[in-house]
Structure 1
Amino acid sequence: MTTDLTLIVTAHDETAVCGPTMRSADLAVAEARARGYVVQPIIALDAATEATSDYFHQPRFDHWERRIMNQGDLGRVRNALLPDTDGRYIAFLDADDLFSENWLAEGVAALDTATEGGEKVIVHPELNVQFDGAKVVLVNVDQDSPLFTPHFLYLRNYYDSLCMAPREAHLEVPYVHRDIPNGLSFQDWQFAIETMTHGWRHVVVPDTIIFKRRRDFSLVVESSSRKSIVRRLPEMAIDRVRDLARPRAYR
């Protein structure tokens, strides 16, 4: 039987806040399965604290596969896990965030449509609702939207690290490692740029939501406080950046 989707929840130092996260994940998995999709759910315990490991080894999570990692880096965890997954598509969720019940089912449907049309597509939720340490609602835009300009990528990333993509996208464009002390971070930002370079189009799935918890201290907060940037990339040169909006620009 073909596995349509692998969902990976990554956990490091979270405990009680994971309850709503896992509830939202289970509901989304159930919705996807009700639509006929085969889903492989994985919990990745990466350099997890003892309390986090104990939390996720409760019997209530025995229907999830567990992977013990010691990468200490978001990008390296994703790269290392990929060969040990079965799904045609890969989706991620941080252990303190949530997503809407329809996200997985609608994301798979959108990717299936794109794949059948021969398109290289990565999908994102339409809304990014930030809560706890911040109260912000961000609206994502399609790469084909008139509101999209690749020049904006000089300032910030259009898309959150939560995405759903064919496994080929991650094989073609592995995540780089984080180097916050030297001011290099935002792996998802670089992933977005490099996938565009390789002809992957970023698409928003209507009526889907991610809920991002903003804590007082997190990798995003640390990266921002250190004025971290993305690495120097050839495709961001002033005479080439415009081509990021053109599908398969460098193929």
Structure 2
Amino acid sequence: MTKLPSLDVVITAHKEGDLLLPTFISAQDSINRLKSDFDLDINIVLYLDNPDSITLSVAEELANKFNLNLFTGKNGDPGISRNQAISLCQSDYIALLDGDDLWSENWLHSVYSDISVRLSHGKSITNIVYHPEYNLIFGGHNAFVRQGNINDSFFDTRFLRASNYWDALCVAPRKLLLNFPYKKNDLSKGFAHEDYHWVCVTIENGVTHLTTENTIHFKRRRENSVSVIANNQNVKCYTTGLQRYS
């Protein structure tokens, strides 16, 4: 039997406080569902960027109780924090989760089901990024969004001139994430949306973005988040070739 790639679940946080606990439970539930059918090595990595005292306390308690890897930094930026966390990982694959968001229980299982099938047929998986089919956004804003599916007849990369098909919460090979790091947001110069820019850069370089059926990320929208501030200030994504019309 083909050995499945190992996995690091990376949870990034800063000032989520007690909300980090349900996020961790959500990750554990998805990991347990994955382990029920697949035998692979899985680690959870907590990375805190300028955490407040409550968030740090919760993270330290989780790390001590469940033997987690806990790191801290002073980046002040979600993309750079992901880059730092990824650089500290050792597994073949990375699953990204923000510290106040939740996964559907079947998320990791669905991803590894696809990986398993591809490997059993001798197909390459090194250039594939997985996304959930749906985002359920709640809190400061409510929405139910179906993310881009390259198999849909209306899917068109030209849509990326105006908006993003996917967000940053994905499962991807660690080497791919190291080769294509997230760009730092610079709101003072009018640029942000690091996940949007990352999607465009990876697609330009031949990366395939797939959605897995019947999976959901539950995304908490807070009024002081970088994405909300960026939208309120009408800042733009860094330009890539996909935004050009020539």
Tell me the TM-score normalised to structure 2 length. Answer: 0.90
Counterpart amino acid of residue 169 in structure 1: L
Find 1:20's aligned residue among 22, 42, 48.
Answer: 22
In the alignment, what sits opposite 1:105?
109
In the alignment, what sits opposite 2:65?
62
Counterparts of 1:23 and 1:154, CA distance in 2: 37
Deviates more, 1:182-191 or 1:108-117: 108-117
Assess if the C-alpha contact under 8 Å between 2:95 and 2:170 holds in 1.
Answer: yes
Q: Map residues 69-108 of structure 1 onto 2, 5 A cutoff.
A: 69-108=73-112
Residue 47, structure 1, aligned to residue 54, structure 2? no
Q: CA deviation at 1:174?
A: 1.1
CA offsets 1:138-169 (integer angstroms, 9 cap, x no match): 01132232221122112211001101111122
Segments of structure 2 that go 5 or more residues without pairing to the other structure are none
In the alignment, what sits opposite 1:31?
33
Deviates more, 1:66-75 or 1:91-100: 66-75
Counterparts of 2:205 and 2:114, CA distance in 1: 20
In the alignment, what sits opposite 1:182?
189
Q: CA deviation at 1:112?
A: 4.2
- Structure 1 residues 3 and 67, CA gap change in structure 2 (3 angstroms): farther
Counterparts of 1:37 and 1:208, CA distance in 2: 21
Tell me the TM-score normalised to structure 1 length. Answer: 0.88
Deviates more, 1:55-64 or 1:35-44: 55-64
Q: CA deviation at 1:70?
A: 1.7
Q: CA deviation at 1:21?
A: 1.2
Segments of structure 1 that go 5 or more residues without pairing to the other structure are 240-251
- Structure 1 residues 80 and 44, CA gap change in structure 2 (3 angstroms): same
- Structure 1 residues 61 and 162, CA gap change in structure 2 (3 angstroms): farther
Deviates more, 1:95-104 or 1:117-126: 117-126
Assess if the C-alpha contact under 8 Å between 2:9 and 2:43 holds in 1.
Answer: yes
Counterparts of 1:69 and 1:109, CA distance in 2: 34
Q: CA deviation at 1:18?
A: 2.0
Residue 153, structure 1, aligned to residue 160, structure 2? yes
CA offsets 1:154-198 (integer angstroms, 9 cap, x no match): 221100110111112212211111101211100100111111111
Assess if the C-alpha contact under 8 Å between 1:131 and 1:214 holds in 2.
Answer: yes
Assess if the C-alpha contact under 8 Å between 1:103 and 1:125 holds in 2.
Answer: yes
Assess if the C-alpha contact under 8 Å between 1:111 and 1:165 holds in 2.
Answer: no
Assess if the C-alpha contact under 8 Å between 1:141 and 1:147 holds in 2.
Answer: no
Q: CA deviation at 1:96?
A: 0.7
Q: Map residues 173-212 of structure 1 onto 2, 5 A cutoff.
A: 173-212=180-219
Deviates more, 1:96-105 or 1:28-37: 28-37
Aligned residues: 239
Counterparts of 1:188 and 1:203, CA distance in 2: 15
In the alignment, what sits opposite 1:118?
124
Counterparts of 2:15 and 2:210, CA distance in 1: 31
Q: CA deviation at 1:221?
A: 0.8
Assess if the C-alpha contact under 8 Å between 1:9 and 1:44 holds in 2.
Answer: yes
- Structure 1 residues 111 and 185, CA gap change in structure 2 (3 angstroms): farther
Assess if the C-alpha contact under 8 Å between 1:159 and 1:192 holds in 2.
Answer: yes
Assess if the C-alpha contact under 8 Å between 2:104 and 2:216 holds in 1.
Answer: yes
Assess if the C-alpha contact under 8 Å between 1:9 and 1:94 holds in 2.
Answer: yes
Counterparts of 2:118 and 2:52, CA distance in 1: 40
In the alignment, what sits opposite 1:213?
220
Counterpart amino acid of residue 162 in structure 2: L
CA offsets 1:96-143 (integer angstroms, 9 cap, x no match): 110111111221232344464125211100110011222211011322
- What is the identity percentage for the equivalent residue pairs of Structure 1 and Structure 2? 27
